[in-house]
Structure 1
């Protein structure tokens, strides 16, 4: 934006808007960072923030909150609340520094406020050390600095930034491929289980009746919804009325058989009873 290569509006949706943290965190080498030192005077207010704030809250709203502040902590809380209300991600970092006349103060820094996932992180405050650092940056709404000149290294890093973006896309594709293959594997296992289960049911037989005659059925006497797990294997043509009371009740309750031959043996005994 400072060098005039893109506009502020284009920066809000630019594919490189989040590349900075990739550069700082994903490479072993030390990247070259464009910096400048700005003069300050007592009464100046400096705002350092992540794009979780400036990417979602307009500069006019930020300026309004800062001008109406009663305290620095109140202004920080107001900025964070505003960003979160506009749907900002959980990485909303806001630091306010106000320069005051006189010697350096030994006042302890205020308690930080954490939002989103950072609020659940372990308390590492005791492990942190503080030191006086130079604040380098600019605040357009309070103190607009002169735009930086065309940085000498910008054209040289284009290929690297494009590679970072391409790598992010490749990671997303690999992630989608991983989840797709995982889903297909789960579906395949489920279908395989269903197929094996159905194959087992079709290896079973039972002798029953259709209300009129004795029937040998293949499968099991169960239904899955409207799907029957059994079908007619053989119609014996033996009338149910030809059986005595005990045999008829057994057939009505069905007699299980481990194979078709075993079912035929049961029917043969019933036939002998019906003709005796």
Structure 2
């Protein structure tokens, strides 16, 4: 009988030791080591909106919005993983679960709402044109007729101008906005068109300050929303609550001024959040 008591006691000690080891392991975790991460899709190539800098940092209005929302969801800065969300990949990233949400100049439209859900909108942009600061020949949208108009390959912005506003515009499609800006600076093109927020971001870069100006034409309305996986109502509602708080506490206005102010861009007031939650 005595050996059994010793074995039982030994087993109890071993069990306690194992339990203590397990507890010690849990206590050793925390912060970024406990697996608590949130992956956010942003643009990497839009100054003022979403940009990955050469030193690996992330900046822009959408980045500020994403960080604020993530904090309201319970994450600290080190828990946020930014992933590039190119325009053509955004729905796929959400559907596959590669990202938790996307804040990437993501205009809300009916076609996209069939595939993903949107929180927000948190920003109202307009299609506009960027021209040289000293060029007074483009004062109204129709002045784009017979002008060399640039946008990126596959963009709907230039086609919108061509079909609805200035049918004689000479479209120039480049691989990226930076190429359009170089052409605008060198006078090989006359105007660049896309969302005004994106244009303001480029114009605010140090190397371009004072060289360009926005036309202020408001050629379309573009409501930016935060994309979440279709059917994730809980996350969408939490993001809406975070966006509402961002507007109320002044953080939204501060982010707009910090990212777009240097270009002299005057944003619209924040739109009503939650209008696409039904």
TM-score (norm 2): 0.25
The structure number with the bigger radius of gyration is 1
Higher relative contact order, structure no. (Cα contacts within 8 Å, ≥ 6 residues apart):
2
- Give the structure with the larger strand fraction: 2
